[in-house]
Amino acid sequence: LNELLEQVQAGDEIVLSRNGQDIERIVTPSLAEMAPSKRVAGLNKGWISYIADDFDAELPDSFWLGEA
């Protein structure tokens, strides 16, 4: 598997076949495929119905120290 991954990283394409039929190919993703998708303003509007009053309050030191 490591050898195959090294080949892919080098730019080669690996084709997986079963019974002589190609079922999958492994390639290095292009930069366009790796780019984050564009955000759409208002897409999730209305999904959050409740936020606690202390949602953005500072957490106590015991939280950061892993104490009960």
Decide if pLDDT at 14 tops 70.
yes
d(CA 18, CA 59): 55
Decide if pLDDT at 31 tops 70.
no
**pLDDT value, residue 30:** 79
* DSSP sequence for 24-55: EEE-PPPHHHHSPPPP-TTTTTTS-----TTT
d(CA 61, CA 59): 7
Decide if pLDDT at 17 tops 90.
yes
**pLDDT value, residue 9:** 87
Question: Is the Cβ–Cβ distance between 7 and 14 less than 8 Å?
Answer: yes
3-state secondary structure of 39: coil
- Enumerate the domain spans of the chain: 1-30
